[in-house]
Amino acid sequence: MQHAEALARIAQFPLADPAAALGAGLALINADFPELLLPHARRLAARHPDNAQSQQLLGLTARACGESLTAYEAFRAAAALAPRDGLIAHSRARTALEAGLPADDLFAAAAPLAPRDGGILLGQAAALLAEGRAEEGIALLTSILSANPLWLDGHRSLAGLRGQMGEDPLASVGAALAHHPRAAELHHLAISLALQARDLPRASAAASQAKAVLRSQRWLSLITGHIASESGELDAADPHFAAAGPPADPNEAWMYARHLIRRNQPERAAALLEPRVSQPGALALWPYLSLAWRMTDDPRAHWLEGDPRLVGVYDIGLTPEELAALAAHLRGLHHAKAAPLDQSVRGGTQTDGNLLLRTEPPIRDLKARLLAIVAQHIAQLPPPNAGHPTLLANRAPVRVAGSWSVRLENAGFHTDHVHPQGWFSSALYLALPETMGAGRHGGADDHAGWLSLGEARDLVPGLAQLQLIEPKPGRLVLFPSTMWHGTRPFPQGERLTVAFDIARPRQD
């Protein structure tokens, strides 16, 4: 559905018929036009306050727009009107969780209404973590997986919970493989989780175990090559990549490119990536193409990341007292003991869920300030540039795709990484160690704790950063999501931040 068709459907929106409106509205939401729909969904709910479908549509539309309080209130009204509807009950629980409200009891009440909906159980486990009861969430999923050992989503969720609580994230998958040793999907998951846990020896052992049972398979060759490359065994990786053959899609191409860049073969990496970056789903390839171009002094590297307007440094306008109050509020949301799986955090914790959907006044105020600055940043960008992953033609609507708080302590840092599914990413500093001054420690100008843009030290140790930015309380940095970024370790103390991604607007 294109924008013109969406406008035509909105012009004929059936406000008099809630059932028809729900069908028409779902089509618009699925086509990614919830902002066009929201005013009409509000009118529908106001015109039919006693109709569950009208409230349900408002909830779905508001949720798609990131209006979490409106979504929760609409689903609460819908649940009162249709108390036996499992989908509405699940949606009410889910929007409560996203809004930062107690949700465990709501998920528990929804479960018998939709007994085949595993998402309710995953939501309940997440709610228990949010309420500081992670061990209960672990027990819940462990019990269910003991009876349903092939439930992959359950294993993923349990691995995430266990990892954040400092426990073995692969425990349930290992137990399931003991009973189902030929289940290829379990082997694949075991390898993936070991990689996410940054346990390369365990990932290698899991790949060997899979190969012993499943024999030679293309995906195993590819992932074995990736593990060897990540482990620094570059010569050993080559035959595995060769056995896998050319990458079939962008999800495979980034592994090949990462290996070639680590091999110091940027020309081959560029030749692999350049024909593919315009393909659907290829955003994850841009960061590697950036490295390949920079390593070969290709002028397109400047076209991609060289314009200074792509990066913005702003002050969010909070007083020291307001920053301290916000920091205290955020500390209360850090229930985990360790970093999440598959994240850049080292030596710290990260909040669960989309932080900026929470409805506490400090978070709502923060979200409004951040979105205002994002709008300011987008307004000053260079004009659209065909083929550029950041300088898009259509730059609205502005939505938060994900948001979180990170609390680093005692030499914690972020590894160099990217968020290629976003459009712009960010770092907002709220509390910093007293030791983080002008970047000089022990007589060395090491820029401890500073944000580094453009470095990928694990892959290309000698490639200089594009920019180093000093953190200060209240400072917000915005940069393209395809740009490499990380932080320098700091000697001691606490570094509390908020980060978020802005979603890429659809391009008609």
- Domain extents in the chain: 308-503
- In CATH, what number does 308-503 get? 2.60.120.620
Q: At what angle do helices 171-179 and 134-147 cross, to 10 degrees?
A: 10
Task: Answer whether 422's CB lies under 8 Å from 501's CB.
Answer: yes
Half-sphere exposure of 297 (CA within 13 A, CB side): 0
CA–CA dist 122, 187 (Å, integer): 22
Q: pTM for the complete prediction?
A: 0.93
Is the peptide bond prior to 34 cis by the omega test (within 30 degrees of 0)? no
b/e for 37-60, b at 16 or more Cβ within 10 A?
bbebbbebbeebeebbbbbbbbbb
What is the pLDDT tens value at each position of the chain, 508 positions in all?
Answer: 999 999 999 999 999 999 999 999 999 999 999 999 999 999 999 999 999 999 999 999 999 999 999 999 999 999 999 999 999 999 999 999 999 999 999 999 999 999 999 999 999 999 999 998 999 999 999 999 999 999 999 999 999 999 888 899 999 999 999 999 999 999 999 999 999 988 999 999 999 999 999 988 999 999 999 999 999 999 999 999 999 999 999 989 999 999 999 999 999 999 999 999 998 889 999 999 999 999 999 999 999 999 999 999 999 999 999 999 999 999 999 887 777 777 655 667 888 899 999 999 999 999 999 999 999 999 999 999 999 999 999 999 999 999 999 988 766 656 789 998 899 999 999 998 876 654 444 444 678 788 999 999 999 999 999 999 999 999 999 999 999 999 887 777 788 999 999 999 999 7
Query: Is the distance from CB of 13 to CB of 487 less than 8 angstroms?
Result: no
Task: Say which residues have a Cβ less than 8 Å from residue 414's Cβ, sequence separation at least 6.
Answer: 344, 345, 346, 406, 408, 485, 486, 487
